[in-house]
């Protein structure tokens, strides 16, 4: 559920007509609904009821400070994948003590910063990384709390670019090597085993791969506990999918039932790392139509947002709903909605039936809150979009549109 609704033929975010935001701030602009963000956080948390759990919002889905601040205010922790994300969490007032750090390529500098900040858990992805973390811990005179991210070799049945739990994936430690690595870690002075972790992929729309993976991982957790490793946390990763078009992902309740059934009797405190499920349907990208162009083959609509603003269609063949901000009547024609970027993959919506858009008309790419702005770039020397947070009848710019001078910040000709 989200708080983007039609009122008198105009698309609103909560109580604010999106046309008002587009007129004041320009386009392209990302708009987020704080009521939707809050609701998603609460629904996921409430689904886990009394079971001890910590929601560590996956920062890479959308790392905008205002969003981090909102989740932090709801008691959330964070799942980070770089030192830059740690700095963002702290800048937003987030709690390092509720932050977990994943990623196959953490540098020793990033590990040092995270250990000094007092993060909850390093999710370690290889034996060599564990040795590096041990060295960092010894250097700082501390034991770095770690969980091994194990690879359960389960097919997440999602797009191959966002599947991470197969044997052929670069992520995690092979399941069979985990026991030996925990045994080795016991002799290290700079680390201490605190948990076990897995994350099998993103935009998961079925419960069965989660169940299969977590059943394996929970079994390993019990085995490690029996071997007297002092584990306290079972990090089940993120990946819960959302509806972009006609997908029917598990509801938060079904997701929680699946996780709880697979991990029961472990006695572990659960760590959840939802990203997309919290922010995806809480954001839209506003864009304005520039031109139409008819070729013998196709009807194109050129808009002012491009793949540098929203790369998911080009990168993942992803679908985003497209809505006019002011409802129109008429016969639908099939159009390709394309951006200004000089790449053939800069197609934001393919073969979409739309009442032929007019130049100057405003549209919203829906479900753009996750992996939208956080993946935006300056490709084609395009300033990145502005971002707006709506709260009831009020709204504010939470990130200014980049200015042209920002494009060469730090450069020397
Ligand atoms: C990306 C990522 C997540 C979040 O994935 P979503 O599909 O956005 O929920 C969680 N954990 C790790 C380790 C990740 O890399």
338-359 per-position pLDDT tens digit? 999 999 999 999 999 999 999 9
Instruction: Say yes or no to pLDDT of 226 above 80.
Output: yes
56-89 per-position pLDDT tens digit? 999 999 999 999 999 999 999 999 999 999 999 9
Which residue among the candidates 342, 381, 393, 404 is catalytic per the annotation?
342
Q: Which two tokens stand for residue 412?
A: 């020397």
Least confident piece of the model among 114-128, 145-159, 175-189, 313-327: 145-159
Q: What is residue 153's predicted lDDT score, i.e. its pLDDT?
A: 86
Do 217 and 178 touch, CB atoms closer than 8 A?
Answer: no
Q: What is residue 157's predicted lDDT score, i.e. its pLDDT?
A: 76
The pick from 58, 120, 236 for probing ligand 1's pocket by mutation, whose C-beta has the most ligand atoms within 8 angstroms, reads 58
* Cα(200) to centroid(ligand 1), Å: 9
Query: Could you give the percent of the chain with pLDDT greater than 70?
Result: 100
Per-residue pLDDT band for 197 (boundaries 50, 70, 90) equals very high
Q: Is 237 in the pocket of ligand 1 (CB under 6 A)?
A: yes
Instruction: Say yes or no to pLDDT of 42 above 80.
Output: yes
Q: Annotated catalytic, 342? A: yes
Per-residue pLDDT band for 1 (boundaries 50, 70, 90) equals confident
> What are the sequence ranges of the domains in the chain?
4-32+280-408, 103-272
Q: Which atom number of ligand 1 is nearest to the Cα of residue 241?
A: 7
Best CATH choice for the domain 103-272 from the list 1.10.3720.10, 3.40.50.300, 3.60.10.10, 3.20.20.10 = 3.20.20.10
Across 144-151, average pLDDT:
97
Instruction: Say yes or no to pLDDT of 35 above 90.
Output: yes
Q: Which two tokens stand for residue 99?
A: 């932050």
Q: Which atom number of ligand 1 is nearest to the Cα of residue 164?
A: 15
385-400 per-position pLDDT tens digit? 999 999 999 999 999 9
* Cα(102) to centroid(ligand 1), Å: 9
Instruction: Say yes or no to pLDDT of 30 above 90.
Output: yes
Q: Is 202 in the pocket of ligand 1 (CB under 6 A)?
A: yes
* Cα(276) to centroid(ligand 1), Å: 8
CATH superfamily name and code, 4-32+280-408: Lyase, Ornithine Decarboxylase; Chain A, domain 1 (2.40.37.10)
Q: Which residues are annotated as a binding site for pyridoxal 5'-phosphate?
A: 239, 273-276, 371
Find tokens 């004041």 and name the residue: 24
Q: What is residue 368's predicted lDDT score, i.e. its pLDDT?
A: 98
Per-residue pLDDT band for 379 (boundaries 50, 70, 90) equals very high
The pick from 60, 241, 283 for probing ligand 1's pocket by mutation, whose C-beta has the most ligand atoms within 8 angstroms, reads 60
Q: Which atom number of ligand 1 is nearest to the Cα of residue 162?
A: 7
Q: Is the peptide bond before 362 cis (omega within 30 degrees of 0)?
A: no
Q: What is residue 374's predicted lDDT score, i.e. its pLDDT?
A: 98
Torsion of CA 353, 356, 358, 359, to 10 degrees: 70
The pick from 77, 82, 173, 202 for probing ligand 1's pocket by mutation, whose C-beta has the most ligand atoms within 8 angstroms, reads 202
Q: What is residue 249's predicted lDDT score, i.e. its pLDDT?
A: 97
pTM: 0.97
User: What average pLDDT is seen over the chain?
Assistant: 96
Q: What is residue 87's predicted lDDT score, i.e. its pLDDT?
A: 98
Per-residue pLDDT band for 161 (boundaries 50, 70, 90) equals confident
Q: Which residues are annotated as a binding site for substrate?
A: 276, 312, 316, 343, 371
* Cα(199) to centroid(ligand 1), Å: 7
* Cα(135) to centroid(ligand 1), Å: 27
Q: Is 239 in the pocket of ligand 1 (CB under 6 A)?
A: yes
Q: What is residue 166's predicted lDDT score, i.e. its pLDDT?
A: 76
Q: Is 60 in the pocket of ligand 1 (CB under 6 A)?
A: yes
């Amino acid at each position: 559920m989200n708080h983007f609704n039609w009122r008198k033929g105009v698309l609103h975010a909560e109580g604010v007509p999106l046309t008002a935001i587009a007129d004041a701030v320009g386009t392209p602009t990302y708009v987020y609904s704080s009521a939707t963000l809050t609701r998603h956080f609460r629904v996921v948390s409430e689904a886990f009821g009394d079971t001890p759990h910590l929601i560590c919002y996956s920062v890479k889905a959308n790392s905008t400070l205002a969003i981090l601040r909102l989740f932090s205010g709801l008691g959330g922790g964070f799942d980070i994948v770089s030192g830059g994300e740690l700095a963002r969490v702290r800048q937003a007032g987030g709690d390092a003590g509720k932050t977990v750090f994943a990623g196959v390529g953490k540098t020793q500098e990033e590990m040092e910063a995270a250990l000094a900040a007092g993060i909850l858990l390093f999710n370690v992805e290889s034996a060599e990384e564990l040795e590096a973390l041990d060295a960092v811990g010894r250097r700082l005179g501390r034991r770095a709390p770690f969980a091994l991210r194990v690879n359960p070799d389960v097919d997440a049945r999602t797009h191959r670019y966002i599947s991470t739990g197969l044997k052929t994936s670069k992520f995690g430690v092979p399941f069979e090597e985990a026991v030996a690595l925990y045994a080795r870690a016991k002799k290290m002075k700079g680390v201490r085993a605190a948990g076990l972790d897995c994350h099998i992929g993103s935009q998961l729309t079925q419960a069965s791969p989660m169940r299969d993976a977590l059943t394996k991982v929970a079994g390993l957790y019990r085995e490690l506990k029996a071997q007297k490793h002092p584990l306290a946390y079972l990090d089940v990763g993120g990946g819960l999918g959302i509806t972009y078009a006609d997908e029917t992902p598990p509801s938060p309740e079904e997701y929680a039932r699946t996780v709880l059934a697979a991990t029961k009797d472990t006695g572990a405190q659960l760590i959840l790392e939802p990203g997309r499920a919290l922010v995806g349907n809480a954001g839209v990208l506003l864009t304005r139509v520039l031109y139409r162009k008819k070729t013998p083959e196709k009807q194109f609509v050129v808009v002012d947002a491009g793949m540098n603003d929203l790369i998911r269609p080009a990168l993942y063949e992803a679908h985003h709903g497209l809505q006019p901000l002011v409802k129109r009547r008429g016969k639908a024609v099939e159009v390709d909605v394309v951006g200004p970027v000089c790449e053939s993959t800069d197609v934001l919506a393919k073969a979409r039936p739309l009442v032929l858009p007019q130049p100057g008309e405003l549209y919203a790419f829906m479900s753009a809150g996750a992996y939208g702005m956080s993946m935006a770039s300056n490709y084609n020397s395009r300033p990145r979009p502005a971002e707006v947070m709506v709260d009831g009848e009020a709204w504010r710019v939470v990130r200014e549109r980049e200015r042209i001078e920002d494009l060469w910040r730090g450069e020397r000709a």
